[in-house]
A = this chain, B = another copy of it.
């Protein structure tokens, strides 16, 4: 019952839009219900092996985004003495998220009809076998459920890992683990359900999904969510000692470049995989994931120039991520030039937020999770309503109304921000209460690598 109907909707809507770029993330429940019986009639469909091949590949690509991708991207930006702590936190938190996902995460997010905020059913993947399938957005097209579970598993793992960028160089490893358990449970799973779950009734369909919000690959679920959590976290955990006084230059931009490259490479799985099929919509998401990123790189560097600095590699890498974040909700909901627009706007705005605004506000969102994922996610999620327009090469049909879609996007973003902010605060306070939250000042000075893990990153 999970997604049988979504595709029906997608098809109908897509008919006007040229069967392009329509994601399951944009459903009008009314249509869906009407169409449901048609699905039931069909014989149990078997997965197309091309779709299965692509979705397995996409899943592996998202894995590459986490370790080594994100681990290196973040790790390169901290000081040598904290390198291992970043790497350890990311791999451990990802592992935790994977175990939690098969235990109850998938259940809460996609397990079956319950209410608008969470799912229920399939606890411990009960009843799922290698023969189980889930529907995609196209009528009669399914993929193996284990592949879908694994694909979505990687999303939950990378999202919680992203949050840690705001808290590096000071948070206890135990605090990170406690935070991850609580946060995934009360923030990630509900938001994933709200944005992506279509139930059998309005009451069981995710709240935001029910509104008809567009989020192709996770602008709200992943990026706004992680960005807000990091902001809340860095306010609760506090600044690093010596922030804005000591030299805290990245210890290896080479590692950050490798991480950027692997994030970009993996993001094709993230975005084009979110089509759930190897089709033209995935192809569109693919090319957009090139053009938006390219624009992000160039426009961040141009903004650096405009602000009186040199175009830098860290700027290029940051711009790439900003572009990738911004195109995420729009990947299949935009043409290649709409994607360039998104990348350019995100490149300019995020650069300004990170280089100018942040210093003024004075919070220590250490690796700019809010500045890039939060802000980039907001830009992408809201502007997706605009890139849908055929005038910009977008795939919207004739009956598409910009104003109302814009309003839906803004409302959705608002709910995501609020839910994430409150839930994250709870998660961080619990982590602090249970573990103390921060390492001692001495460990912070000597580095978390030795203090928390008893190792040194480099022994040249």
**Chain A residues within CB distance 8 Å of chain B:** 18-21, 47-54, 56-57, 59-61, 63-64, 66-69, 71-72, 75, 79-80, 83-84, 87-88, 91-92, 94-96, 98-99, 102, 124-125, 129-132, 144-147, 149-150, 153-154, 173, 247, 249-255, 257-258, 260-262, 264-265, 268-269, 272, 277-284, 286-287, 290-291, 293-295, 297-298, 301, 309-314, 316-317, 320, 335-337, 340, 393, 395, 452-460
Would you give the shortest CB distance from A184 to chain B, in whole angstroms?
A: 13
CA distance A253 to B63 in the complex (A): 20
Contact of A458 among B20, B124, B460 (CB under 8 A): B460
CA distance A455 to B94 in the complex (A): 31
CA distance A222 to B223 in the complex (A): 37
Q: Is the CB of A286 within 8 A of B146?
A: yes
Q: Which residues of B contact A48 (CB under 8 A)?
A: 49-50
Closest residue of chain B to A102 (Cβ to Cβ) is: B336
Given the contacts A253-B455, A455-B253, A458-B254, A95 and B63 also touching, CB distance less than 8 Å: no
Q: Is the CB of B298 within 8 A of A84?
A: no
Contact of A337 among B60, B102, B453 (CB under 8 A): B102
CA distance A340 to B101 in the complex (A): 12
Q: Is the CB of A294 within 8 A of B96?
A: yes
Residue contacts A-B, CB under 8 angstroms, 25 given: A47-B279, A49-B49, A49-B277, A50-B51, A50-B278, A51-B53, A59-B286, A63-B265, A72-B257, A83-B254, A84-B312, A91-B257, A91-B320, A92-B316, A94-B294, A95-B298, A96-B298, A102-B291, A102-B336, A125-B335, A132-B280, A147-B287, A153-B290, A253-B456, A458-B460
Closest residue of chain B to A288 (Cβ to Cβ) is: B146
Q: Which residues of B contact A283 (CB under 8 A)?
A: 52, 56, 130, 144-147, 150
Would you give the shortest CB distance from A209 to chain B, in whole angstroms?
A: 23
Closest residue of chain B to A252 (Cβ to Cβ) is: B458
Q: Which residues of B contact A456 (CB under 8 A)?
A: 249, 253
CA distance A278 to B261 in the complex (A): 26
Would you give the shortest CB distance from A141 to chain B, in whole angstroms?
A: 9
Q: Which residues of B contact A268 (CB under 8 A)?
A: 56, 59-60, 63
Given the contacts A67-B261, A313-B453, A251 and B458 also touching, CB distance less than 8 Å: yes
Highest count of chain B CB atoms <10 Å: which of A83, A283, A314: A283
Contact of A68 among B20, B102, B262, B298 (CB under 8 A): B262
Closest residue of chain B to A301 (Cβ to Cβ) is: B92
Q: Which residues of B contact A287 (CB under 8 A)?
A: 102, 146-147, 149-150, 153
Closest residue of chain B to A292 (Cβ to Cβ) is: B98
Interface of A is mostly: helix
Given the contacts A251-B460, A455-B312, A257 and B71 also touching, CB distance less than 8 Å: yes
CA distance A53 to B269 in the complex (A): 11
Q: Is the CB of A150 within 8 A of B286?
A: yes
Would you give the shortest CB distance from A173 to chain B, in whole angstroms?
A: 7
Q: Is the CB of B72 within 8 A of A258?
A: yes
Would you give the shortest CB distance from A367 to chain B, in whole angstroms?
A: 15
CA distance A170 to B229 in the complex (A): 44
Contact of A51 among B49, B84, B293, B340 (CB under 8 A): B49
Q: Which residues of B contact A50 (CB under 8 A)?
A: 48-53, 278
Given the contacts A52-B282, A63-B268, A453 and B92 also touching, CB distance less than 8 Å: no
Given the contacts A257-B87, A452-B310, A459-B79, A56 and B54 also touching, CB distance less than 8 Å: yes
Further contacts, 8 of them, CB under 8 A, given A88-B313, A147-B286: A52-B283, A56-B57, A67-B260, A99-B298, A146-B336, A252-B458, A253-B458, A254-B458
CA distance A99 to B340 in the complex (A): 8
Q: Is the CB of B254 within 8 A of A87?
A: yes
